[in-house]
Structure 1
């Protein structure tokens, strides 16, 4: 199992390769050129993110978690901002007097509010659909077991159990998932409009907004939704996506636009 000990110095990222938010943070680390130690937290069947040792680091029992010189930072949006603030390299946020700053923050809020987890699980088909639906029972069972083993974390586990229960209901609601799928496509209209005037989402410089949305559009690609922008349907998104995928950081951060086996 992954070690959850935190060193006094250095940068440690607790992550999982296909995790959407983990990819966002890895991409920002790659853009900034930050050296870090990656520790995998398997959120699949082992559900290592539910282990008490991890929940003590991240009370939401979610990934990623970043440790910088012994300080724990949670919430992917906050982590992205902190990486840009703390480390040298190209600035990924415009200055406070730059009107592009509000554009970046608006696009970050937009993606942060959308329930991509529910959308991703709710739109699965075939064996993956069957397996993920069955896993919900196992998730709650493990959370209840971990709660009994760590009573001091009872409140955190209660919140997570309630979260998983809501997730389970939403992913089985066909009408809700259909609405989420329509909303997910409509988000691309915001990107298309933003890209009519600039090379990147907020200006002609790559920003945190581009990093976050690169990962999201790659996930949509992996889900077979590339027809939402390809073949001239949303030409600015199509051209932007091609540009951001050509950046060295895309490869260095191992961004998933297709399933990887054996990773």
Structure 2
């Protein structure tokens, strides 16, 4: 009997889900796609999912012998490397990427630009925090993880305080520009990939980062940097880019379709 395909629980527009999808396609690993609604139904907080991934995040890759609940681990698995075998340059690029709170760029910018969002998003975060505490009371075996996740949302409420969000957005945008400068400097020698000789995990995560730059309206910054613009065009032209469904803009109707189970 053939071994079952890995199951990937992911969300269409999720940044880290895109990393997982791109890595799996690049690694030639067929998987069963399990798209979940993380916005309306909030499937990632339902008990059955929490037992798979106590972080209540996406993506989650279910393998026959283990579960991977971090996009970095999924990317390394898909490309046949590990923390023990990965080269120093790739590790540095991965550490740099994963040390950056991308959600603060995405949502910080939205809050800074949109007065209605500054009203609605903090209310939504508080609602989710309360719901997590309710789930803790309803599921004693999972109470600790629900309470820990509620604390994460309390931190987000503080981070996205309407009075401070403009400064937060400016800080994250400046850091993102700094990353683009660093990428430009590295790619200036004409290399085709970040860590020669071959495409690897660093290319996966920074491809998705560049897609997010387009998504948040910072695409013009890419074009100011010729080596980075060349690299970005090459990454988009790879056979993996379209099948991995990398979003460079918001697809409203697809997002709604995914939430309704028809996308």
TM over 0.5: yes
Matched, 1:211 2:204: yes
Correspondence for 2:105: 119
Shift of 1:117: 1.2
Task: State how far apart, in whole Å, the 1-side matches of 2:251 and 2:119 are.
Answer: 20
Matched, 1:45 2:31: no
Matched, 1:57 2:43: no
Matched, 1:184 2:176: yes
Deviations 1:210-261 (A, max 9, x none): 111111110110111012121xx21111110010001111100000001113
Gaps of 5+ in 1: 1-7, 86-91
Q: Is the 8 A contact 1:170 1:177 kept in 2?
A: no
Shift of 1:134: 3.0
Partner SS, residue 40 of structure 2: coil
Q: Is the 8 A contact 2:104 2:168 kept in 1?
A: no
Distance 1:261 1:112, change over 3 A: same
Matched, 1:224 2:210: no
Correspondence for 1:201: 194
19, 23, 40: which one pairs with 1:24? 19
Gaps of 5+ in 2: 255-263
Q: Is the 8 A contact 1:185 1:228 kept in 2?
A: yes
Q: TM-score normalized by structure 1?
A: 0.87
Report the aligned-residue RMSD.
2.0
Shift of 1:110: 0.5
Q: TM-score normalized by structure 2?
A: 0.87
Task: State how far apart, in whole Å, the 2-side matches of 1:22 and 1:132 are.
Answer: 22
Correspondence for 2:90: 104
Q: Is the 8 A contact 1:11 1:36 kept in 2?
A: yes
Shift of 1:71: 2.1
Shift of 1:9: 3.1
Residue correspondences, number: 244
Correspondence for 2:151: 162
